[in-house]
Copies of this chain bind each other. A is one copy, B any other.
């Protein structure tokens, strides 16, 4: 494999010294880019785009042609695993993801297979291989998966939810069934991420989008426990390189100490979490990724630059910070505003690494 020309992102995750703070952006390959919308149109549907390795590769690379990002992230959906388990993922305009079949009881859980990523999710593995090849070592490629808990919420609810009544109903009413399901999901997620690593992913991130809807004790028992299990099963080396790992629980700012004990190299932070306090709490254990308010990108570039400076100042001097938004970029952001953010990180972050 070609050695990395820019390993700033990997080094920051491992808390090694860097010249400047690396930056990438959640959903950086996405609807805010006109060139993405064009390919999405051409693909006919979001799922066609995800399942076509050439098109997935193309949209993964698009933001890197525009902006000085320090990492690429596989373009895919977080719900590929439940789809490969046979639940039938589909998308309706404006309503988000849905499943044809849902998981309601012990019998449903018993029937869930653990997908073989090399066959059942081959389109993802092929996309990773193709993206890695096309990157030609310019920046590292991030693989990812939804967390077991987050996948379970969609599988039980049949889609997005507001109150998460069904999945919490299963959790409160039949905790053993819920645990069995999460155990299967943890095995599936680990196999999936390991397949991405073998195909060329140089870091992996677990998206726990819905961990933050749980009480503290339920979070530890039903979400974090399985994130830890995934971590235990992950390959930590590939092709002679360390594969850093990132855990992101949206709404998880209260639980950083226990998250930092889960074995991941870095924690993703939402924008509500104070980066300075977060570093004081867990910075000795893990690197931190985040955490500008995604809505700040609607502001004028001069305001965006100030917000970037605040985030850099909050983390302070020394290694261990990856600049990112606190959640995915919103679909109607002006790409010029993204450029203002990226350029500001390049301009103002070296002072923190002298």
Asked if A296 and B214 sit within 8 Å, CB to CB, the answer is no
Chain A contact residues, majority secondary structure: helix
Among residues of B, the one whose C-beta sits closest to the C-beta of A326 is: B215
Which stretch in A45-53, A165-173, A340-348 binds the other chain? A165-173
* Chain B CB within 10 A, most for which of A219, A303, A310: A303
With contacts A163-B330, A215-B293, A303-B173 taken as known, whether A272 is within 8 angstroms of B251 at the C-beta atoms is yes
Asked if B293 and A168 sit within 8 Å, CB to CB, the answer is yes
Query: Which A212-257 residues have a C-beta within 8 angstroms of B?
Result: 212-219, 251, 253-254
Give the docked Cα–Cα distance between A298 and B167 (Å): 11
Asked if B298 and A165 sit within 8 Å, CB to CB, the answer is yes
Quote the shortest CB–CB distance from A209 to chain B (angstroms): 14
Q: Which residues of B contact A168 (CB under 8 A)?
A: 293, 295-296, 298
With contacts A165-B295, A295-B165 taken as known, whether A272 is within 8 angstroms of B173 at the C-beta atoms is no
Among residues of B, the one whose C-beta sits closest to the C-beta of A162 is: B330
Q: Does A108 contact B (CB under 8 A)?
A: no
Q: Which residues of B contact A334 (CB under 8 A)?
A: none
Indicate with 1 or 0, residue by residue over A140-181, a CB within 8 angstroms of chain B CB atoms. 000000000000000000000001110011001100000000
Give the docked Cα–Cα distance between A303 and B174 (Å): 10
Asked if A298 and B253 sit within 8 Å, CB to CB, the answer is no
Size range of the interface on A?
35 or more
Give the docked Cα–Cα distance between A43 and B310 (Å): 51
Q: Which residues of B contact A106 (CB under 8 A)?
A: none
Asked if A272 and B216 sit within 8 Å, CB to CB, the answer is yes
Asked if B272 and A212 sit within 8 Å, CB to CB, the answer is yes
Asked if B215 and A271 sit within 8 Å, CB to CB, the answer is yes
Q: Which residues of B contact A299 (CB under 8 A)?
A: 169, 172-173
Give the docked Cα–Cα distance between A163 and B272 (Å): 13
Asked if A277 and B172 sit within 8 Å, CB to CB, the answer is no
Q: Which residues of B contact A165 (CB under 8 A)?
A: 295, 298, 330
Q: Does A300 contact B (CB under 8 A)?
A: yes
Indicate with 1 or 0, residue by residue over A276-313, a CB within 8 angstroms of chain B CB atoms. 01000000000000010111101110010001001000
Quote the shortest CB–CB distance from A150 to chain B (angstroms): 15
Q: Does A274 contact B (CB under 8 A)?
A: yes
Q: Does A68 contact B (CB under 8 A)?
A: no
Among residues of B, the one whose C-beta sits closest to the C-beta of A271 is: B215
Among residues of B, the one whose C-beta sits closest to the C-beta of A275 is: B216
Give me the interface of A with B, judged by CB distance under 8 Å: 163-165, 168-169, 172-173, 212-219, 251, 253-254, 271-274, 277, 291, 293-296, 298-300, 303, 307, 310, 326, 330
Could you list some 23 contacts between A and B, CB below 8 A? A163-B330, A168-B295, A169-B295, A169-B299, A172-B298, A172-B303, A173-B300, A173-B303, A212-B272, A215-B271, A215-B274, A216-B272, A216-B273, A216-B274, A216-B277, A217-B274, A217-B310, A219-B272, A251-B272, A253-B253, A253-B254, A254-B254, A254-B272
